[in-house]
Structure 1
Amino acid sequence: MNTQPGKVTLLSAGPGDLDLLTLKAAKALAAADVVLLDDLANPEIVTLAPQARVIRVGKRGGCRSTPQAFIERLMQRYALKGLHVVRVKGGEALLFGRAGEELAALRGAGITVEIVNGISSGFAAAAGLGVSLTHRRHCHGVSFVTAHTEDHGEPDWAALAATRTTLAIYMGMRRIESLAGALLASLPADTPAAVVQWAGGADERRLLTRLDRLAADAASAGFGSPAVILVGDAIGESVEPRAQDADASRDGVTAADAGESRGREATARAA
């Protein structure tokens, strides 16, 4: 039996592309004895941990998930045997990754914990759209928020809208209609909005629209979880075609054509 003290590394696997892993993450995986693998991480990440025992501990909203308490017990069990446990989390471990609960449980058991940061899906979504979340022409900051509070309620959308920051909303697809409606009570209907599904991964999908069409356009295009919802004027800087413009283009009518047609109709009515 290993008499050396074990430890746990909370490792941020990023949005999916293994090229976005940090060197520190790769080194931790190479040294791992046990890997607890999150569902949202790229499964190929285990190739970087050739000597480790891999245990899948998926947690997905609306799906059968591994209980959080069980994951914490697994980490404690193996670390107390003197092993190096790497808890692989999709995105950034410290952002909506239940890291606070795991840190408390491990420290309470006297286990050393190391944290390896990574790229959150909110940043990957912004990169896919080609926008700055903190474009100073449009806002003075960004607010990262989950659509689900611990008591299964919703955040104070009016207060968040009042910040005039870019909103990066996680785990919001099941509530996209209600959250869009709540934000519309405080923000203009034409506020730029976007949905990015599987941000940063090979299957990434992007939708650029406006707040009053957000829920309908996302449903029409078949967007689902996991996805990040971005709302705010800074999102309007994206070169991604807007959903309604793309629809018009598919119908053989460009946005410019549509505008020109509306102009001719207005002139005819005036005459």
Structure 2
Amino acid sequence: MTTGKITLLSAGPGDLDLLTIKAAKALALADIVLLDDLANPGIVSLAPRARVIRVGKRGGCKSTPQAFIERLMQRYALKGLHVVRVKGGEALLFGRAGEELAALRRAGIPVDIVNGISSGFAAAASLGVSLTHREHCQGVTFITAHKQDHGEPDWSALAATGTTLVIYMGMTRIERLCTSLMSALPACTPAAVVQWAGTQAERRWLGTLDRLAIDATDAGLGSPAVILIGPAIGEAMQWVAQPAPIHQINQEPFDAQRAA
């Protein structure tokens, strides 16, 4: 029997208009869709011939084991089917794509990768800021607050890089994170939190590092959210406060309760 193939597909932050044409084509040809919790569930409308299997993985919640997901991909691909593994955001950024790629390559299964927009970029777009504004920094650092050994990054070292910090999965550790960062950054450093970035359920907070943990918690902001810290985020301070709403294109509502 001819071996099928796997497509690791990046579903972006939730707005289906942000999917690439390549993503839409892959979904249209899919036999099996393995759907991540953080992807807009409406994406399955683009895969009319596919069987949809939900394989959610959420920090702090009951999740589908990674090894089981890898076995599912191999099982269906070895039957000659086209399996589309749908991941929220960008598949190659904190999406455990490396583990899946390694397992599939060991099994001799062809893999395609379709890139997408990460929630970090969606958050920056919502705030209307450049993460690499040359008047404020020389780069951007994307970092997860959760290491594989359950430890934490060296926040002081990261702060010393002078880059804009875009922190994923940091809300459950926001107090320790802020305390560590303030050992190397001024308390007045601009900071923001954007929850459900790029969806109609989006919420955000904008202020300074010394108020980040307290105010974001008081506002009820939680996962999934992106934390952004650095002088470049200060560019949002004036115009985000204006009463006029920020224009966002959201053709199809994103059901946050269903994805939570």
TM-score by length of 2: 0.91
Counterpart CA distance in 2 for 1:11 and 1:4 is 22
Q: How does 1:5-16 map to 2 (within 5 A)?
A: 5-16=3-14
Partner of 2:144: 146
Match of 1:82 among 57, 80, 83: 80
Contact 1:208-1:241 within 8 A present in 2 as well? no
Counterpart CA distance in 2 for 1:154 and 1:144 is 14
Is 1:20 the counterpart of 2:18? The answer is yes
Structure having greater relative contact order (Cα 8 Å, sep ≥ 6): 2
| Matched residue type, 1:200 | G
Q: How does 1:242-261 map to 2 (within 5 A)?
A: none
Partner of 2:203: 205
CA deviations on 1:91-126 (whole Å, 9 max, x unpaired) are 000000000000000000000000000000000000
What's the % identity of the aligned pairs?
Answer: 79
CA deviations on 1:203-253 (whole Å, 9 max, x unpaired) are 1111101000000010111101000000000000002239xxxxxxxxxxx
Q: How does 1:11-90 map to 2 (within 5 A)?
A: 11-90=9-88
Contact 2:2-2:78 within 8 A present in 1 as well? no
CA deviations on 1:147-166 (whole Å, 9 max, x unpaired) are 00000000010110010000
Counterpart CA distance in 1 for 2:169 and 2:17 is 25
Deviation for aligned residue 1:202: 1.0
Is 1:240 the counterpart of 2:217? The answer is no
Partner of 1:227: 225
- In terms of Rg, which structure is larger? 1
Contact 1:5-1:81 within 8 A present in 2 as well? yes
Partner of 1:127: 125
Counterpart CA distance in 1 for 2:183 and 2:210 is 11
Partner of 2:178: 180
Aligned residues: 240
Counterpart CA distance in 2 for 1:91 and 1:52 is 21
- Runs of 4+ in structure 1 displaced over 4 angstroms? none
The alignment yields a C-alpha RMSD, in angstroms, of 0.8
- 3-state SS in 2 of match to 1:71: helix
| Matched residue type, 1:55 | I
Partner of 2:215: 217
- 3-state SS in 1 of match to 2:206: strand
Give 5+ residue unaligned stretches, structure 1: 243-271
| Matched residue type, 2:22 | K
Contact 1:146-1:172 within 8 A present in 2 as well? yes
Pick the structure with more helix per residue. Answer: 1
Is 1:96 the counterpart of 2:123? The answer is no
